[in-house]
Amino acid sequence: MKLPKIPASIFRIGAFVVLAAVIVLLFPDYHNSFRYHYEIGKPWGYPTLTADFDFPIYKTDAQLQEEQAKMLSTLAPYFKYVPQVQREVNVISLEHMEWLKAEGYSRITVRQQKIPVSELYTPKTAYDKYRYEIAINLVLDTARTTELREKMLATISPTQDMVQKGEKIIAEGDLVTESAYQRLQSLRRAYENENITNRQRALSILGQTMLVLLFLCLFVIYLYVFRIQYLQSTSTVLFFCLQMFIVIALACLVLRFNISVYLIPFAWVPILTRVFLDSRTALFLHFTTILITSIVVPAPVEFFFIQIVVGMVAVSSLSDMTRRAQLIQTAGWIFLTQVLAYTAITFAQTGVFSSINPWTYLYFFLSALLTVGCYGLIYAFEKIFRFISSITLVELTDINSDLLHTLAERAPGTFQHSMQVSNLAAEAAKTIGANALLVRTGALYHDIGKMTDPFYYTENQSGGENPLLEMDPRDAAQVVIAHVAEGEKIARRNHLPEVVINFITTHHGTSLVRYFYNTYCNAHPQEKVDENMFRYPGAKPTTKEGAILMMADAIEARSRSLGEFTEEAITQMVDEMIDAQIADGQFSETPLSFKDVEDIRRVFKTRIISMNHHRISYPTLNK
């Protein structure tokens, strides 16, 4: 039986719901009932707390260990007597002698008598004294010794005092001293061990779930209002969910082992999102992540304050990551910021230098080191979600790469044309705030399909006849159109990213191969010509960068056929080419504004004029 296909929109929303459920399951259990967060040396940030019921004050682990050690020091382990033929000398094994000394025992019990350890011998020490071998005649009675040990430890009480109902535990604003901390820990233990009903536990989990869903809903609303294209992409939604899951799961893991949550590199979230998407989304996703984590961390206000600053620094210092060294610099800034923020908020809350925990600085340093490991995640996420980072784009623009080197060898004119187009397009992209590095990369590869038959294209012809002019205009148009499909095949064989392939397939849109279309129409004035025979298959560009490349490609190619390179001729040529593309509807699916188009025109005119300016002639020497 074939299962019904789940609509993509439901799947994407379901991903956030599943994420919320998984996060709640990961939350540590100890926050289910006692809703206070506190640390020794920090002020009590809640109203005055009084006891709602009687509860004991439990001893600390150090106190219990000290009492146990003191109690066990009086223990005299039981040994069994094994009659021997030799004289009566108390001999035990070397192993048992070392054990008695290591445990600090001063006596042993043999046949209801206490014998000092100083009167015991090992076979070697007995031989040294009596000059002949004496066998072991005392053997440890493990069962009786263990039983005695357990009885003695059972007499130690785990509690030391009682807090009566209505008694004040700590007042609002008081510093949490070691004594107050012990009382609070005892109250927490009383809640968790004795006072949690199934109903309370269920309501606690429900409250956590509602909070997580609320924060995720706010993030989804942000996407819907400001970044609808991200919400409509399944891969992008899964990218968001995976980032939050990794960081929050790591935070819950360290909390379960009582390790500081500051060990976790929360900066991964804004860095990864900024590298692949944009700064605003990076910050919003980071805020959502730390809000969810704040539900379970100790000192949530301090944690949230520090992590907000971390996110702002991460995004600000990594505006466009094109080099690995930038990530190291960002990690350094994050470390310094965490140190400053933690120190400042601790002083502001306590006013006491001793309240600083130096181990926290070590966790900040380790977290910064882990932040550098984000470089590996960038590569992994590129492969998983088919994203593309600035680092990869920089690598792709290396003209010494195998593919571009092959293009330069087989089609040198096309290669030079692509270089010129990349410069034009990148300058225009900078002007209107588009991705200049992306469009530069797309421009370098947009015509790689011409490598298949390079001599069909005028830029690669060094003179002589153009073979296309000897063909039927319809066939010639198909040869020219084919370079788009060939380019896509070459790009996929060389594993170019999808975003770069998109430039190859859209740089002509659905435009006409105007030269051969006009030639055919002029030769057949009475015939109703099918334009589809002369049109590129598309698709049309859907991004600003794709539109810029289409304009730059057409204008650079057209500029080579100008008879004169005057300012008037260049201005007219640029306006005609762009107006024709607009009239043909090639930019109808892009987000270009009228202002964007005018700015692009101005850049193209300026650049074409500067590229074709006249140089003065050099004088020759008179003989």
Domain boundaries, the chain: 8-25+199-385, 34-59+157-195, 65-154, 398-611
Q: Indicate the residue type of 136.
A: I
The pTM score is 0.69
Q: Report whether 141 contacts 80 (CB < 8 A).
A: yes
**Range from 22-26, 67-71, 351-355, 576-580 carrying the lowest mean pLDDT:** 351-355
DSSP 509: T
Long-range contacts of 115-120 (CB under 8 A, 24+ apart): 115/90, 119/90, 120/90, 120/91, 120/92
* pLDDT at residue 234, as a whole number: 92
The pLDDT tens digits for 144-164 are 999 999 999 888 888 888 988
* pLDDT at residue 611, as a whole number: 77
* pLDDT at residue 623, as a whole number: 60
Q: Where residue 421 falls among pLDDT bands split at 50, 70, 90? A: very high
Per-residue pLDDT averaged across 53-77, rounded?
87
* pLDDT at residue 374, as a whole number: 84
Q: What angle do CA 552, 557, 563 make, to 5 degrees?
A: 125
Task: From 413, 440, 437, 412, select the one nearest 424 (Cα to Cα).
Answer: 440
The pLDDT tens digits for 446-460 are 999 999 999 888 888
Distances (CA, A) of 438 to 179, 244, 499, 509, 592: 61, 27, 9, 18, 16
For residue 96, pLDDT over 60 is answered with yes
3-state DSSP assignment of residue 161:
strand
* pLDDT at residue 304, as a whole number: 92
Q: Report whether 589 contacts 542 (CB < 8 A).
A: yes
For residue 324, pLDDT over 80 is answered with no
Structure tokens at 266: 């929360």
The pLDDT tens digits for 212-265 are 999 999 999 999 999 998 999 999 999 999 999 999 999 999 988 878 899 999
Q: How far apart are CA 542 and CA 499, in angstroms?
A: 11
Q: How far apart are CA 116 and CA 322, in angstroms?
A: 76
- Rounded to the nearest integer, the mean pLDDT of the chain is 87
Q: Where residue 46 falls among pLDDT bands split at 50, 70, 90? A: confident
* pLDDT at residue 35, as a whole number: 62
CATH topology of domain 398-611: Hypothetical protein af1432 (1.10.3210)
Phi (first) and psi of residue 37, to 5 degrees: -120, 130
Q: Where residue 298 falls among pLDDT bands split at 50, 70, 90? A: confident
Q: Where residue 356 falls among pLDDT bands split at 50, 70, 90? A: confident
Q: Where residue 31 falls among pLDDT bands split at 50, 70, 90? A: very low
Phi (first) and psi of residue 201, to 5 degrees: -65, -40
Q: How far apart are CA 332 and CA 510, in angstroms?
A: 49
> Which residues share a beta bridge with 415?
none
Per-residue pLDDT averaged across 326-345, rounded?
92
CA within 13 Å, CB half, 81: 14
Q: How far apart are CA 67 and CA 104, in angstroms?
A: 14
